[in-house]
A and B are shown apart, each in its own frame.
Chain A
Amino acid sequence: GQQVMQIPQYQHVQEGEDFTTYCNSSTTLSNIQWYKQRPGGHPVFLIQLVKSGEVKKQKRLTFQFGEAKKNSSLHITATQTTDVGTYFCAGFTYNFNKFYFGSGTKLNVKP
């Protein structure tokens, strides 16, 4: 069935390095949302992308939505230890009327 795939599953970086996680859907998404979950915490909403090719920035975080609205990415520039956590994408498909979370990318930042 339709689902949202996310890669990589884990990423270990040295503080100051960049980080990117990718989200891919088998069908066109109406929108995509990104969440961050700190260890032991709950998901916290970061941003939503709706338009084809949309790019949004939040300080060191850059979010992109693909032209075909089937993929998205989150890029963090110059990671900090506060970036540690699991990043999830979540997409909604009108044709299936379903909301799917990606499997998440667990980011570990070494100081």
Chain B
Amino acid sequence: KAGVTQTPRYLIKTRGQQVTLSCSPISGHRSVSWYQQTPGQGLQFLFEYFSETQRNKGNFPGRFSGRQFSNSRSEMNVSTLELGDSALYLCASSLAAGFDRGYTFGSGTRLTVV
């Protein structure tokens, strides 16, 4: 069974640009959540999608947005990039939404903003 796939693995962007990250969940998993990991702030929850609907949202500005497609694949978009957005972005999938079961994480996308 294939795991959670995130693309690209590495990305370098310039401040002010926008970026789109992709996540393909484990087959059969309908919940996809996104996290930002930095040395200073640790792991922070961005949002969760289930059946193409955002179910939960963390405390991030509106520059961070996401969506989920009918095949459960999800994308995360960050507009007007700032230097502080440099981080490892992880997505995780689960059978159902609601954080009542464990999540399987992908290997992440390492975003560097210069």
Contact = CB atoms under 8 A, between A and B. Distances in A.
Contact of B105 (A31, A43, A46, A99): A43
B43 A48 contact: no
Contact of A44 (B35, B44, B45, B105): B105
Interface in B54-105: 56, 58-59, 90, 92, 98-105
B106 interface: yes
Contacts of A1: 59
Interface residues of A toward B: which range? 20 to 34
Interface residues of B toward A: which range? 20 to 34
A30 B33 CA distance: 18
Interface string A3-47: 000000000000000000000000000110101000001111111
Interface string B34-63: 010000001111001000000010110000
Contacts, number: 57
User: By DSSP majority rule, is chain A's interface helix, strand, loop, or mixed?
Assistant: strand
Given A100-B45, A101-B45, A31 B58 contact: no
Contacts of A33: 99, 102-103
B108 interface: yes
B108 A42 contact: yes
17 contacts: A31-B99, A33-B99, A42-B105, A42-B108, A43-B43, A43-B90, A43-B105, A46-B102, A48-B102, A92-B99, A98-B58, A99-B45, A99-B56, A99-B99, A101-B44, A101-B45, A104-B42
Interface of B: 33, 35, 42-45, 48, 56, 58-59, 90, 92, 98-108
Interface of A: 1, 30-31, 33, 35, 41-48, 50, 88, 90, 92, 97-104
